[in-house]
Structure 1
Amino acid sequence: MRSGDEPRAGMRTEGDLVGALRQAADRAPEPDLLAGVGERKRRRTRRRAQLLAAAAVVVVVGAGTAATKVIFASGGGEGVGTDARPTAEEDRGAVAEPTVTQGLDEGPETAGPTTTRIVTVTPRRPAGTPIGRLWPKALFQMPAKNADGWRYRPVTGINATEVLLMAESSFEKAGKIEIYDSKTGKARLVAEVPATKGLKEYFPQSATTDGTNVAWYASGTDKDRNRVAEVWWAPLSGGKAQKIHTTTEYAIDAIGLDGDQVVWSAVKGGVQRKPLVGSTIELLSNEDLHLIRWPWASDIGDGPDALEANQTKIVNLAEGTETKIAIKPGTTGLRCGPTWCHGRLDDRGIIQRPDGSGFRRLPGAGFMNGLSPYPILDRFLQSGDTVYDLNTGKQAVITRVGSWGGVGTSSEASTIVYWGVTKEQKPAKYWMLNLAAVPPGQ
């Protein structure tokens, strides 16, 4: 769009583009995922989305088409990190606004002539208190590999000191579940992760834990190319992994634990529950509900087509009750836990209670779309290098010298944010932020 022109149908304004860039940067996969199979990447967007995959982003928008292509012009590698110590500028809470440059290029990208708009956005430095000063007990270092040399994929915090981990022998080949204790500085084996024979493209997806057991679901294809979903569990105290369910009828999108039972929701379909030991499957709801964290469920899934849709109710599956959500006109992407909701309104992040009370706009233009669509522990929002505490209003920032980081791959919103200690491509250690270690009133 040339200077002075009005936006044409199908084109976005500069503000729309900047918002889209921020969302894309928040949801960009880490570098090893970019080289993976496209279908796997799409299936794991929520669980394996990574922070700040590019320092500069190029967006191409063709007139007359709603499609927006996002190209990451420069990316970081695994291992770029931070020393977690605030600089003088960060102590002052300084914020560097994005730099936007524009260029024009004409070409037949779609049928007929198109106009291409190139917008480069430099990531902003968020305001707030460095995490090392605000929540020092929640920040620690740990090895990036286990004793076998397998790379760790953090899952979530079990408590203030223990972190649940998947250890991968190669890309998406999780072979072990382990626990690392930041207090002792040691890791221990929970269980080996079996791979079902005869299934191709097989890999474990999201996991969950209640502090006593761990459960996860896996996906693969059989000899007839049917998609197969499996449900597994193991005791955190250690033991053999047990498979308790296999289906080719639906895909699983979330999993939870209810005492001695595993609960899961389907991408399209209801919510089911099955004992850890036993054969009876109970249908908890045949409505199209999706687990947030047991016992809470939402009427909105987490696929790319649902990003702008608003959650309209939150369901307590244990009690069989539901709460309608009050939605302000113009709100998009609203997601609610039992206490807090997060969404967008007029290109700004907002929070509110499910009944509409406690409404306020979030600072700056951040939190448009974080890596966790639901509030973490029904308390925190995480986006880019910023974590916002909904209970206290405090904002923490991650001080990193590189361009990538990750979040845990748990089914529910993970308590873990991690990044490399050094700039080397494959780090020897991770910095770990475990939000489960933040005291209630801090």
Structure 2
Amino acid sequence: MTRKLEDDLHRVIGSASECAPHAPIDFSARIAARSRRRRTRGQALVAAVAVVIVAGGTGLAARGTSDDSAPIAVRPARTPSSPSTLPDPVEKVWPSAVRKIPAKLPGGRKFQPRTFIDDHTLLLETWESFEKADAVYAYDLDTGQTRKITEISTPKGVYASGYAIGGGRIVWQTIENMRTRFWYVPISGGEPAAIDTGRAVKGRVDELSVAGDKLAFSLFEGGVFTVPLEGGTVTPVAGADRHHILRWPWVGSPGQYTPDNEPSFEELLNVETGQTSKAVIHPGEQNVRCGVLTCVGRRPDQPSFYRLRDGSQERDLPDSTLGLAFDRLMTVSLDQPRGAQALLDLASGKSADLGLRQDAKGQGISIHPGLTYEPLMAYELKDQYVIINLTKIR
């Protein structure tokens, strides 16, 4: 790590410690786990995981979540102190949050972790071809046991995506000819069934969330809707015709995909309470991405920043930071070893080595935490998957 980056990190986690309010004791416990979607082939959508190309490698990162009532506290903590020193491994810094599991099912099939069914159970997806799911499984992190939940069959060119958990069900979507259909299966297993919406939803769904006895979804083209999990009428959410789901019941505009570099989720609406929030954005700021509580971006004179949505508690960030999960978790690219990244928690000041490295060909993966509220971060390392439950990071 360079001296400049070391100084940047010290400034990030130390500069606001005296004036920043402390997060509540139960901050992490009150974080809600929400749905996640992945990239749908052919739909020009980026996944609920962020895909980052690094010297020919591809990395997958899951989305996080945040508390929506309390500001984030930044406190001093130990950081890497020399170019030859890395933070401790992530499993040592946050042992209750990290598991490592085999990268193949019994019998040798590859899989992709998709989301948590509960605190100790993962939803896994297997493919018949690239990104085309053919089955989903439950994996018990405590026992290592795997159980097939159901097989998935879709027509040529149609892909299952966007898994959400709730009401004893696993829900997902398929998109065909610019129309979306929803499917479910009991967590206990069974045959997939369609959620009857009368007819396929016109448009491409970009986010799903189970909200009580309803499925909430937003369209890539804009607009938030609900439909009963048992099937029924699709109902638009009042005042959210331009919005996208950030973390239910928070919806916002613009969404994550801003081709003209608009600030992402600058405006927020709580569809249950009617509460609104508009983030403070200064002229000339670029790549601004906002969560429920905080925003990150780049100033006109280049230094990156992190601040609360109301513009307060602004501080500098190293240019090598990526993402913003839980309104507090970011990754930091390190100079040495090549391809190394640390996970940085701005709330506690802790950082941890993710174990990523470039190979002899200069290939590697990069983790980029995003804005939507999913507790799973998963990436393959050698012959294992590293599974991080972001809700358990303290």
Task: Measure the CA separation in 2 of the matches of 1:311 and 1:411.
Answer: 9
> Which is richer in helix?
1
- Aligned match of 1:299 in 253, 258, 268? 253
Displacement of 1:140 in angstroms is 2.0
Match of 2:293 in 1: 339
Match of 1:168 in 2: 127
Match of 2:158 in 1: 202
AA partner of residue 262 (structure 1): L
SS at match of 2:310: coil
SS at match of 2:41: helix
Displacement of 1:290 in angstroms is 0.6
Match of 1:182 in 2: 141
* Structure whose CA Rg is larger: 1
Over aligned residues, Cα RMSD in angstroms? 3.4
SS at match of 2:129: coil
Task: Measure the CA separation in 2 of the matches of 1:412 and 1:257.
Answer: 14
Question: Quick one: structure 1 residues 248 and 315, their matched pair in 2 at CA, closer, same or farther if it must change by over 3 Å?
Answer: closer
SS at match of 2:391: helix
Match of 1:389 in 2: 345
Match of 2:336 in 1: none
**Kept after mapping to 1: 8 A contact 2:329/2:369:** no
Percent identity of equivalent pairs? 27
Gaps of at least 5 residues in structure 2 are 1-38, 60-77, 334-340
AA partner of residue 45 (structure 1): V
Matches for 1:208-227 after TM superposition, within 5 Å: 208-210=164-166, 212-220=168-176, 226-227=177-178
Match of 2:30 in 1: none
Matches for 1:92-111 after TM superposition, within 5 Å: 92-95=80-83
Match status 1:437 vs 2:392: yes
Task: Measure the CA separation in 1 of the matches of 2:149 and 2:370.
Answer: 16
**Kept after mapping to 2: 8 A contact 1:49/1:406:** no
Match of 2:54 in 1: 53
Match of 1:377 in 2: 326
Task: Measure the CA separation in 2 of the matches of 1:298 and 1:229.
Answer: 21
**Kept after mapping to 1: 8 A contact 2:345/2:351:** yes
Matches for 1:48-127 after TM superposition, within 5 Å: 48-51=49-52, 53-54=54-55, 75-76=56-57, 92-95=80-83
Number of residues of Structure 1 aligned to a counterpart in Structure 2? 324
Match of 1:281 in 2: 234
**Kept after mapping to 2: 8 A contact 1:168/1:174:** yes
Task: Measure the CA separation in 2 of the matches of 1:339 and 1:77.
Answer: 29
Match status 1:361 vs 2:312: no
Match of 1:271 in 2: 224
The TM-score normalised by the length of structure 1 is 0.64
Describe the superposition over 1:60-116 as per-residue Cα deviations: whole angstroms up to 9, x where unpaired: xxxxxxxxxxxxxxx3489xxxxxxxxxxx9945459xxxxxxxxxxxxxxxxxxxx
**Kept after mapping to 1: 8 A contact 2:41/2:159:** no
Task: Measure the CA separation in 1 of the matches of 2:332 and 2:184.
Answer: 31
AA partner of residue 434 (structure 1): N
Task: Measure the CA separation in 2 of the matches of 1:435 and 1:351.
Answer: 20
AA partner of residue 142 (structure 1): I
SS at match of 1:327: coil
Gaps of at least 5 residues in structure 1 are 1-37, 55-74, 79-89, 97-124, 221-225
Displacement of 1:235 in angstroms is 3.0
Task: Measure the CA separation in 1 of the matches of 2:79 and 2:223.
Answer: 49
The TM-score normalised by the length of structure 2 is 0.71
